Amino acid sequence: MAYTKAYTAYRATGVKTASKGKLIIMLYEEALRRMDAALALYNNEEKIEASSIEKYNNCLVKTQEIITELMVSLDMERGGEIAQNLMALYSFFNRELLDTCITHDKAKLLSIRTMMQELHSSWAVAVAETPTADTVSHTAIDING
């Protein structure tokens, strides 16, 4: 129990003090974890058991919330065409995830996960190659669940 509280406090501090780039990477990582958790709920017949539907939907809803946070973080004025393209892509992801909540289409979920993984990798490279900016406090973002 004490370990859980300490880890939660450590993680919260990491989020509050992360650079903007690192925070974006953390959001992607959590979205990928949530999609992996949803994918793990498929049985051998590629179906979601009735007893797992709520957990499956919760994973996808949290993923949508993270994607929405990524949308809100876009600076449409300074980001130009890249920000516009990311906004369109994030909107697409959220629509597809909503459909996946209803249809339980594993192939669609895998496709979204693949694209999110590619974006995560691109952000990781960009952040690694960009000089470290000052860290800022983020009070509205909750990637913990």
pLDDT for 15-53, tens place per residue? Answer: 455 688 899 999 999 999 999 999 999 999 999 999 999
What percentage of the chain exceeds 70 in pLDDT? 78
The answer to whether residue 81 is domain-embedded is yes
- The pLDDT score that the predictor gives to residue 18 is 62
Q: For residues 12 and 98, which has the higher predicted lDDT (pLDDT)?
A: 98
CA 12 to each of CA 23, 81, 116: distance values in angstroms, whole numbers, following the listed order: 12, 33, 23
Residue 142 structure tokens: 């909750």
The answer to whether residue 80 is domain-embedded is yes
The answer to whether residue 42 is domain-embedded is yes
Number of compact structural domains in the chain = 1
Mean pLDDT, range 108-127, rounded to an integer? 96
pLDDT for 62-88, tens place per residue? Answer: 999 999 999 999 999 999 999 999 999
Rounded to two decimals, the pTM is 0.78
For position 55, which CATH number holds?
1.20.120.340
- Residue span of the structural domain in which 101 resides: 20-129
The answer to whether residue 95 is domain-embedded is yes
The answer to whether residue 144 is domain-embedded is no
CA 86 to each of CA 30, 33, 35, 96, 143: distance values in angstroms, whole numbers, following the listed order: 18, 20, 19, 15, 20
